[in-house]
């Protein structure tokens, strides 16, 4: 496991050193949400009613735009071949890179969500549910996105293909993430939606590990 955590630290350090990936994700997240009051109007009731959907859809799209760099830099410079030959199974390499991707993109988005919720006039009482749903859902987005990123590895215009492949797969995560917040707003229990979202995350771990590892082996042949 020391190799696993070393790989996570290495990917996070490279992303921080480059700086562009995390800044691009957060910049897209903040600017896109900031545009909605201009588009739909500044009425607090309207913004509060659609705030959860706005935040969740924007978080999903923000994570998607960075998926192309999940495996491509290592594939281009040959590092992926070395990782495949290391003592760490390729399935765990995939999970390590997904964890690093989430730490760079999903976690900052989830932590920034209260500020965006304040901008959109979302009731402060549902902020914990919103943050919890994002903390559970964004790792699933990174894991499911890894499948798409590995399938298009080596293809031209892979970034556009990733979106076409994975956006339909994100729909269940999106539905239950938004439903948890809306249930809380309506005075209904949000726990069932959170539990289903958690189940999706649990299923995504082995699915992403084995499917992505298989696709990466084909790309490296």
pLDDT at 45: 81
Reply yes or no on whether the pLDDT at 214 is more than 80: yes
Least confident of 17-31, 136-150, 166-180: 17-31
**CB 95 within 8 Å of CB 208:** yes
* Residue 18 pLDDT exceeds 80: no
**Cα 71 from chain centre:** 15
Q: For the segment 87-106, what is each residue's pLDDT rounded down to a tens digit?
A: 889 999 999 999 999 999 88
Output the pLDDT for position 219.
Answer: 81
Residue 208 has pLDDT above 80, yes or no: yes
Per-residue confidence band for 164, with pLDDT thresholds at 50, 70 and 90:
confident
Query: What's the predicted TM-score (pTM) here?
Result: 0.90
Instruction: Please report the DSSP string for the chain in residue order.
Output: -HHHHHHHHHHHHHHHHH-HHHHHHHHHHHHHHHHHHHHH-S-HHHHHHHHHHHHHHHHHHHHHTTGGGTTHHHHHHTHHHHHHHSSS-HHHHHHHHHHHHIIIIIHHHHHHHHHHHHHTT--GGGHHHHHHHHHHHHHHHHHHHHHHHHHTTT-TTHHHHHHHHHGGGGHHHHHHHHHHHHHHHTTS--HHHHHHHHHHHHHHHHHHHHHHHHHHHHHH-
Residue 175: the pLDDT is 94
Span 102-128, mean pLDDT?
90
- Give pLDDT, residue 184: 92
Q: 19: pLDDT confidence band, cut at 50, 70 and 90? A: low
Assigned token pair, 40: 């739909």
């Amino acid at each position: 496991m020391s190799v696993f955590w070393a790989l996570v630290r290495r990917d996070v350090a490279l992303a921080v050193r480059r700086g562009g990936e995390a800044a691009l994700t957060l910049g897209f997240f903040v600017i896109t949400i900031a545009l909605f009051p201009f588009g739909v109007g500044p009425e607090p009731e309207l913004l509060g009613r659609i705030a959860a959907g706005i935040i969740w859809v924007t978080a999903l799209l923000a994570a998607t735009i960075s998926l192309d760099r999940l495996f491509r830099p290592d594939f281009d410079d040959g590092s992926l071949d070395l990782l495949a030959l290391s003592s760490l199974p390729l399935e765990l390499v995939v999970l390590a890179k997904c964890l690093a991707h989430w730490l760079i993109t999903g976690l900052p988005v989830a932590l920034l969500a209260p500020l965006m919720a304040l901008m959109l006039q979302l009731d402060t009482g549902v902020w914990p549910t919103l943050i919890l749903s994002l903390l559970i859902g964004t790792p699933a987005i990174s894991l499911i996105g890894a499948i798409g990123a590995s399938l298009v590895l080596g293809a031209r215009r892979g970034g556009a293909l990733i979106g076409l492949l994975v956006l339909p797969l994100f729909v269940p995560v999106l539905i239950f993430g938004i439903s948890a917040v809306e249930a809380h707003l309506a005075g209904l229990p949000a726990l069932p939606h959170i539990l289903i979202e958690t189940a999706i995350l649990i299923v995504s771990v082995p699915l992403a590990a084995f499917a992505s590892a298989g696709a990466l082996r084909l790309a490296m042949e």
